[in-house]
Amino acid sequence: NSSVLSQISKNSLIYSQVRGSKHWNPKWKKLRAQKVIKVKLPDYENDDDSDLSNEKMRSKLKEAGLQPSMPWMEKPIFISCTGSIFEEYVPPEGDGKYSTITGA
């Protein structure tokens, strides 16, 4: 049984389908190249924006389609937990609300 299989394997040809990367009609090569979009990726290693002038920074942001940031003059704050009330709310006298304290 094994001798029959070895004879068949020696005499038989093994066909493997090789897929080429070329189309049979080369006139479509230009159209295949046009469907690929080359994207300009940012270079983060050589991207040092600290020494750029304002005009160069503005043109770089405009090229990327971004709005320049606004120079806000806000100061940072730190909020932590506290158990006390800073400014207790005292409703104005005669605000039209009835409560047990007013005694009306």
Q: What pLDDT shows up at residue 99?
A: 66
| Whole-number Å distance between alpha carbons of 32 and 39 | 17
Q: For residue 98, what pLDDT is reported? A: 66
- Residue 77 is predicted with a pLDDT of 78
Who contacts 23 (Cβ-Cβ below 8 Å, separation ≥6)?
29, 32
The whole-number pLDDT of residue 62 equals 87
Q: Please give the structure tokens belonging to residue 69.
A: 């940031």
Q: What is the pLDDT of residue 2?
A: 61
* Low-confidence spans in the chain with pLDDT less than 70: 1-23, 49, 94-104
- Would you state the pLDDT for residue 88? 80
**pLDDT value of residue 42:** 76
